[in-house]
Structure 1
Amino acid sequence: MLTLLRCRGSLTRCPWRVRASSGLSSSHESSSQRKYRDTVLLPTTAFPARRDPGSELRVQEESKFLELYNWQKGRKTKKEFSLHDGPPYANGDPHVGHALNKILKDITNRFHMMRGYKVSYVPGWDCHGLPIELRALAELGEEAENLSALEIRSKARVFAEKAIEKQKSSFIRWGIMADWEKCYYTFDPKYEAKQLDVFYKMYDKGLIYQDYKPVFWSPSTRTALAEAELEYNPQHVSRSIFAKFPVQQPPPKLASMIDGSTVVSALVWTTQPWTIPANQAVCYMPDTEYSLVKCGNTGEQYIIAADRIASTALSLDTKLEVISTFKGADLENGVCSHPTIPERSSPLLPANHVTMAKGTGLVHTAPAHGIDDYSVASHHKLPVDCLVDETGRFTVGAGNELENKAVLGDGNETVIKMLNGSKNLLKEEEFVHSYPYDWRTKKPVIIRASKQWFVNTANIKDKAQEALKKVKFVPASAANRILEMLDRRTYWCISRQRSWGVPIPAFYHKETGEPLINRNSVEHIIKLVEQHGSNVWWTHPLEDLLPQSVLKQVGGSAAVTDFEPGRDVLDIWFDSGTSWAHVLEDAEQRADVYMEGKDQLGGWFQSSLLTSIAARNKAPYRNIVVHGFTLSEKGEKMSKSVGNVVDPDFVINGGADKLKEPAYGADVLRWWVAESNVFTEVMIGPGVLNSAQDDINKLRNVLRFMLGNLNGFTPETDSVPSTKMYVIDQYMLHLLQDYSSKVSEAYKGYDFGKVIRLLESLITRDLSSFYFSIIKDRLYCEEEKDLKRRSCQTVLSEAVDLVVRSFAPILPHLAEEVFQYIPYKQGSEGIFRTGWIKSDSVWKKPGLVEAIEAACSIRDAFLGSIPGKNAAEYDITIVIEPGLLFELMETLQPEETSSTSQLNELLMSSHTSLVTEMPLDQAPGASVIEGSFLINLEGGDIREEESYKVIIQQSTKERCPRCKKFTTTSALSPCPRCLEAIAGKWSQ
């Protein structure tokens, strides 16, 4: 670990074509002074100091961005890297969430491509489903209800295609590397055919089945939903009630206690009163204590959990006197009257899902409207009667009083009135809690029993969880989250009651309703879909979809006309979750990386895993990288109504008034992505973007300095071997080698924020504030071909190449632009076709570290004592007793006094003297500072702290008119070093 103490400061702007060494040019210079100035080798480059976002399109064209993906795919290499693109919805304009995701993927791909890997990356789009169908039909209003399925599908496809083209155009502008002529689309016939093939493999294994059970149902979109399609509103307001279920038949063990002389009721609490008509039982926890209590207000007796007495009394604003306490198991075989349907009974039944967190400890059970309720009904053979239709309204089975009323509106109100009329309502009040909403319409959902197709995840989640243990997650914490989600998942509803999707290839017997689905029928449908697309399900006659020849292979005497095709389509998570079967090219069909937002832990990551495990017993990925969501600069969710939405295309191109709404270009957007801590929420806004632009301008300034000082340098003929370099130059190569190792590891770990931090530290601290400030004198004032000057030019040539390659995956436009201005690289293939960082292991010379760090300790002490002053105005004497520290300094300055030694250059003074004893005579006004340095050699085997003294005095010589150091005997004549540099070039 390097611990160099250096001057901290902002990047210094390179003074182009003005006085560039330690002094400033004067407007009062004589002609002779100006002729000296004109011999200084100032930086020369046409590389622009400021960014021009518009130049990015030129760079893309000249560097052949669109050809890069196919070029790298054509390379002969055994190293391959596959990043499988999770398909964004084709249902709207590109947004900053797209930018975050696509740019992260592109940085990853470009890094691996530069390292010699053949990258496989096929962009894709999720083209089916309700999000697109709703957007496509939104403008039609009520007319949409009269459209046929084919008309809906046609309009949805047109909408999706337009959205795809708009998104694709933006992705290309952002510099995303891909073959944009060969993307994948979930409405592609071959994709749909592969999807149906996976469906049948799962069906054939018994992992897909049809059943009548409760599912999340969206009345606003009239379809079943999976959990991944829900979002929870924490401020939802329900109408909660306490309701009585009068005991009709006392539990045998409590018969002596409940003798019929006083009415006893099981007391329940629910936030969904509309489900009361569908009640089939009241559940209790067998091992929990329950009590018979007497109400202080009415004298009525209730059965509730002992732990819930106090809270219930508080809610009812009464006192509850405990008459007796008993185990829940003692309620066995008890029966209650239904509170709104007198002729119906509700048995008391044991259930493990009953909790004591809320309510009364007794749970109203409606099997058609609750997952746990359904489990109880299945165990006890209870009816699962659904009294709610697809629009969320009560059916005729609910009775005249409720028929056709919305369960989340008037229906709910009517049930509460019915409870009140039967004198079984104790209390009703508003209750604020988290409640599931349809993520597309932002309206509440219900749980409703219906006949659907399911994936039995219970039978595959153990294998899925085991497979996940072999997958590496970034960040690691994401692994636990997806494992927990899988653990809670019992089944996956994959059927949807919509038109825009891939049909479930099932035929139903018109009389029995039994589905017909087998290898022969599905294989026939797959062939038709592959040829014509999934529209065949709606366009072709039944005889084409289910030929008699196929039906005969099934056996039996049924005719084709006895069947009709089903109208359910597959869940879009099944659509996208089977993308591995169509997109991944290698024999294993397993990607190195899936990289998506954290919402996909419950979405695409899971659906891809479950389908892959079910079909072929292995995960479709080796690594999962999870990023956060984008928020406004204030950490708020972006909203058009609030006015804080950031449009990535607006970021790149700017608004009408470029002063108020500047065009930042794609590289600023990419820098923002890389710089952010993407594993949490990522904020964006004008302040963030301006900061990113400033950072890139600072980087350009450093690059411009290096490019300007490489003018006239040709590496093949002018490079200096590291063994012949100045020690400070060798040390800089050592730092560059260390940087290249760290930055490569950061890329490998997907820690692009660390890449940015390493880059900024290198260019700000190591290069600009430290190395450049030291070598300017050598670059500008030595003779052009002098070995000392060529030495630092060699470092600059290595540095500019290494730095540009290190940020190229993040800033591809800037990287290619810089390469166009490197004098000796003009006309080259460009940076992405020439590979990754080429640092040399011989650069690593830890033995130099102590010498340079020791000198920097002295430098910091010296510069710290003259704040704001020019170091060249001083001569310094360093006093060190004989020992290791003195020997280290001798490697930088063998002679006692020098104005040109490496130690003097590092200290930036005019003269430096290195002695072992304090001089007997000191100049008037000289100051002495003391310090110490801990020498650490041989990996810590040698540790010795040695002290030093620095005597600082004003230089006694005149200021050189050329180099501006105080090293000449006459202010009119250059110093010996400058005279030698300009000798023979002109005469006085």
Structure 2
Amino acid sequence: MPAPKIPEKRWSIDLEKSIQEAHYADEAAYSGRYAFNPESGKELFVIDTPPPYPSGTWHIGAVAQYSMIDVLARSQRLLGKEVYFPWGVDRNGINIEFTVEKNTKRKMKTYDREEFLKLCETTIESFTQAMRNTAKRVGLSCDFSREYLTDAPDYRSVTQSIFVELFKKGDIIEDLRPNIYDPVEGTTIADAEVERIARKTKLVDVRWTCEDGTELVISTTRPELICACGVVVVHPDDERYKHLVGQQINLPMETSGRSTTVTIQHHPSVKSDFGTGVLMVCSFGDQNDVAVFRELGLAPFQAIDLDGKMTEVAGPLQGLSVLEARSQAIEQLEQAGRLVQAVERDQDIPVSERGKNPVEIILLKEWYVRQTHIQDRMREHIDSISFHPVRNRQFLLDWMDNISIDWPISRRRWYHTEIPIWYSDDETKVVVPPAGTYVQPWKDDPPKGSRVLDRESRDDLGTYDELADTLG
């Protein structure tokens, strides 16, 4: 009987270290065990792992998750399959920007852009190396020779090429829409990047007056948004208010640059048993407000700017932060005799997942990947997928049910893959780079091979070299 390769009978840190060193010492031998060879002729087993994000020490929960993935990879190799267990690191995004800002005690916008990007790159590389070391230390059988980094120029060039392809097909669009926005960090965020936290707030009952003199009490937790009210709505079946539908009702606070009245209409989203059953719809307090504005074809007001301050439409509240404006609004309503009561209550508010800052919904021109239109087709595909365990199918369906808007992909931050678009002076045409080229339009000119497209129709108008003089 051959002697065991490990004669020690008790585990120790030194023993584990020696095993690790032997495991990775011979790169050729390691690659022979774990590298992916698509030409091997074996049945392929590909693991599509979401790349981890190196925002600091790789915590034990994430490592445990990857260890379970590793069990799948090893078991499939033992079954004779050609396994691709990729190793990649997601290094784009706001987390590393937060880290640099925290370490240097300076906000991003106070830096020269090149300087800030270099700081991000240096900082995230130290985290990435620590993550590589941890992955190897726990024995993950990834194909480390094929490591990919999402901030690498070759990776970003692929991302930008896909953007251009989808833009030409109409699956990526640019539009002025309500966006979830973090005023503290100065960036739009997606639905999936929002979470809710509990806090104390005041439910304010405000007295409004209709054109016939009838007084209505409307409850709100956002009195500072009265200036952005576009309509007052009641439920179609609520007999108490049917005689008021179609009347004008006066805004109970001073505003600037807008009508001082709005129309009372009916809408099925109103909960008749909440407060008095009368709802003010503002641009924008929540996603229901967005839906009502869209359904009724209302012109929205921009009450909050990109710095989280009240705009001109807020009248005397202009320039105040949202919280300051809320407090001032309650005082003004009380002084005007419009405040019925203000009761403190618990409320779940939406905050950004990373910064934990309260978010607002404001109008911004951004880039979106269209996704809501393919929900039904996605469900058809889900029916043909085998899930292990079966309950994971419902997880996916629940996630899809929460998708209510197209995916905003442009960010008002710096450490990310840039939108590969240049605009003509008259903004009717755009320039896109050739496939496989990474560009930074904020500092680069379009490279050779770039094409000029009509901004609306996306028709190809010719090469940039030929048309450069016509673009301004």
Q: Quickly name the TM-score band, shorter chain normalised.
A: 0.7 to 0.9
Q: Does 1:148 align with 2:58?
A: no
Partners of 1:143 and 1:373 in 2: CA distance: 33
Aligned residue for 2:246? 333
Q: Does 1:170 align with 2:83?
A: no
Per the TM alignment, residue 50 of structure 1 is displaced from its structure 2 partner at its CA by: 2.2
Partners of 1:118 and 1:76 in 2: CA distance: 7
Q: Does 1:71 align with 2:26?
A: no
In the TM superposition, 1:422-441 aligns within 5 A as: 422-441=336-355
In the TM superposition, 1:916-955 aligns within 5 A as: none
Aligned residue for 1:984? none
User: Per the alignment, do residues 546 and 134 of structure 1 end up closer, same or farther by CA in structure 2, a change over 3 Å counting?
Assistant: farther
CA deviations over 1:323-349 (Å, ceiling 9, x no partner): xxxxx5x54312211111375111112
Per the TM alignment, residue 199 of structure 1 is displaced from its structure 2 partner at its CA by: 2.1
Look up the SS of the partner of 2:47 in the other structure: strand
User: Per the alignment, do residues 481 and 107 of structure 1 end up closer, same or farther by CA in structure 2, a change over 3 Å counting?
Assistant: closer
2:200 corresponds, among 229, 237, 240, to: 237
Q: Does 1:208 align with 2:172?
A: yes
Per the TM alignment, residue 144 of structure 1 is displaced from its structure 2 partner at its CA by: 4.1
User: Per the alignment, do residues 139 and 129 of structure 1 end up closer, same or farther by CA in structure 2, a change over 3 Å counting?
Assistant: same
Q: Does 1:60 align with 2:20?
A: yes
Q: Which has the higher strand share?
A: 2
Partners of 2:32 and 2:5 in 1: CA distance: 33
Aligned residue for 1:721? none
Q: Which has the higher helix share?
A: 1
Look up the SS of the partner of 1:431 in the other structure: strand
Asked if the contact 1:232–1:434 (Cα under 8 Å) also holds between the matched residues in 2, the reply is yes
Per the TM alignment, residue 405 of structure 1 is displaced from its structure 2 partner at its CA by: 0.7
Q: Does 1:537 align with 2:441?
A: yes
**Residue identity matched to 1:493:** P
Partners of 2:209 and 2:249 in 1: CA distance: 5
Asked if the contact 2:283–2:362 (Cα under 8 Å) also holds between the matched residues in 1, the reply is no
Aligned residue for 2:299? 383
Asked if the contact 1:551–1:560 (Cα under 8 Å) also holds between the matched residues in 2, the reply is no
CA deviations over 1:538-562 (Å, ceiling 9, x no partner): 332x4x3599974796379986685
Look up the SS of the partner of 2:217 in the other structure: strand
User: Per the alignment, do residues 61 and 77 of structure 1 end up closer, same or farther by CA in structure 2, a change over 3 Å counting?
Assistant: farther
Partners of 2:179 and 2:266 in 1: CA distance: 23
Per the TM alignment, residue 229 of structure 1 is displaced from its structure 2 partner at its CA by: 1.0
Unaligned runs of 5+ in 2: 455-459
Per the TM alignment, residue 374 of structure 1 is displaced from its structure 2 partner at its CA by: 2.8
Asked if the contact 2:422–2:432 (Cα under 8 Å) also holds between the matched residues in 1, the reply is no
Partners of 1:268 and 1:148 in 2: CA distance: 48
User: Per the alignment, do residues 559 and 119 of structure 1 end up closer, same or farther by CA in structure 2, a change over 3 Å counting?
Assistant: closer
Partners of 1:232 and 1:142 in 2: CA distance: 28
Partners of 1:427 and 1:560 in 2: CA distance: 64
Per the TM alignment, residue 406 of structure 1 is displaced from its structure 2 partner at its CA by: 0.5
Aligned residue for 2:369? 455
Aligned residue for 1:279? 229
Per the TM alignment, residue 115 of structure 1 is displaced from its structure 2 partner at its CA by: 1.6
**Residue identity matched to 1:426:** V
Asked if the contact 1:215–1:371 (Cα under 8 Å) also holds between the matched residues in 2, the reply is no
User: Per the alignment, do residues 129 and 340 of structure 1 end up closer, same or farther by CA in structure 2, a change over 3 Å counting?
Assistant: same
1:118 corresponds, among 56, 79, 82, to: 82
Partners of 1:334 and 1:266 in 2: CA distance: 12
Per the TM alignment, residue 527 of structure 1 is displaced from its structure 2 partner at its CA by: 4.2
Per the TM alignment, residue 129 of structure 1 is displaced from its structure 2 partner at its CA by: 0.7
Aligned residue for 2:457? none
CA deviations over 1:703-762 (Å, ceiling 9, x no partner): xxxxxxxxxxxxxxxxxxxxxxxxxxxxxxxxxxxxxxxxxxxxxxxxxxxxxxxxxxxx
Considering only aligned residues, what root-mean-square deviation do their CA atoms show, in Å? 2.9
Per the TM alignment, residue 93 of structure 1 is displaced from its structure 2 partner at its CA by: 1.2
Per the TM alignment, residue 279 of structure 1 is displaced from its structure 2 partner at its CA by: 0.7
Partners of 2:189 and 2:330 in 1: CA distance: 28
In the TM superposition, 1:217-236 aligns within 5 A as: 217-233=181-197, 235-236=198-199
Look up the SS of the partner of 1:363 in the other structure: strand
Residues 187-196 or 117-126, more deviating: 187-196
Aligned residue for 1:98? 62
Per the TM alignment, residue 137 of structure 1 is displaced from its structure 2 partner at its CA by: 2.2
Asked if the contact 1:213–1:368 (Cα under 8 Å) also holds between the matched residues in 2, the reply is no
Partners of 1:64 and 1:146 in 2: CA distance: 44
In the TM superposition, 1:441-840 aligns within 5 A as: 441-491=355-405, 492-510=407-425, 514=427, 516-517=429-430, 521-524=431-434, 526-529=435-438, 534=439, 536-540=440-444, 542=445, 544=446, 550=452, 554=461
Partners of 2:251 and 2:429 in 1: CA distance: 40
Asked if the contact 2:158–2:436 (Cα under 8 Å) also holds between the matched residues in 1, the reply is no
1:347 corresponds, among 243, 259, 263, to: 263
Asked if the contact 1:506–1:516 (Cα under 8 Å) also holds between the matched residues in 2, the reply is no
**Residue identity matched to 1:226:** A
Asked if the contact 1:77–1:116 (Cα under 8 Å) also holds between the matched residues in 2, the reply is no
Unaligned runs of 5+ in 1: 1-43, 249-259, 292-302, 304-327, 564-988
TM-score (norm 1): 0.43
Partners of 2:304 and 2:6 in 1: CA distance: 74
Partners of 1:344 and 1:559 in 2: CA distance: 49
Asked if the contact 1:335–1:348 (Cα under 8 Å) also holds between the matched residues in 2, the reply is yes
Look up the SS of the partner of 1:470 in the other structure: coil
Look up the SS of the partner of 1:451 in the other structure: strand
**Residue identity matched to 1:58:** S
Look up the SS of the partner of 2:215 in the other structure: strand
**Residue identity matched to 2:18:** R
Look up the SS of the partner of 2:432 in the other structure: helix
Look up the SS of the partner of 1:415 in the other structure: helix
Partners of 1:238 and 1:247 in 2: CA distance: 28
CA deviations over 1:814-834 (Å, ceiling 9, x no partner): xxxxxxxxxxxxxxxxxxxxx
Aligned residue for 2:122? 158
User: Per the alignment, do residues 215 and 238 of structure 1 end up closer, same or farther by CA in structure 2, a change over 3 Å counting?
Assistant: farther
User: Per the alignment, do residues 172 and 537 of structure 1 end up closer, same or farther by CA in structure 2, a change over 3 Å counting?
Assistant: same
Aligned residue for 2:150? 186
Asked if the contact 2:421–2:441 (Cα under 8 Å) also holds between the matched residues in 1, the reply is no
CA deviations over 1:797-821 (Å, ceiling 9, x no partner): xxxxxxxxxxxxxxxxxxxxxxxxx
User: Per the alignment, do residues 61 and 55 of structure 1 end up closer, same or farther by CA in structure 2, a change over 3 Å counting?
Assistant: same
Partners of 1:558 and 1:284 in 2: CA distance: 56
Partners of 1:549 and 1:200 in 2: CA distance: 10
Asked if the contact 2:270–2:279 (Cα under 8 Å) also holds between the matched residues in 1, the reply is yes
Per the TM alignment, residue 356 of structure 1 is displaced from its structure 2 partner at its CA by: 4.0
Partners of 2:244 and 2:469 in 1: CA distance: 54
CA deviations over 1:446-468 (Å, ceiling 9, x no partner): 22222222233221111122222
In the TM superposition, 1:247-262 aligns within 5 A as: 247-248=210-211, 260=212
Aligned residue for 2:279? 363
Asked if the contact 1:112–1:119 (Cα under 8 Å) also holds between the matched residues in 2, the reply is yes
**Residue identity matched to 2:210:** V
Aligned residue for 1:48? 8
Identical counterparts, % of pairs: 22
Q: Does 1:264 align with 2:226?
A: no
Partners of 2:114 and 2:340 in 1: CA distance: 52
User: Per the alignment, do residues 432 and 200 of structure 1 end up closer, same or farther by CA in structure 2, a change over 3 Å counting?
Assistant: same
Partners of 2:345 and 2:428 in 1: CA distance: 43
**Residue identity matched to 1:422:** A
Higher-Rg structure is: 1
User: Per the alignment, do residues 369 and 506 of structure 1 end up closer, same or farther by CA in structure 2, a change over 3 Å counting?
Assistant: farther
Asked if the contact 1:548–1:560 (Cα under 8 Å) also holds between the matched residues in 2, the reply is no
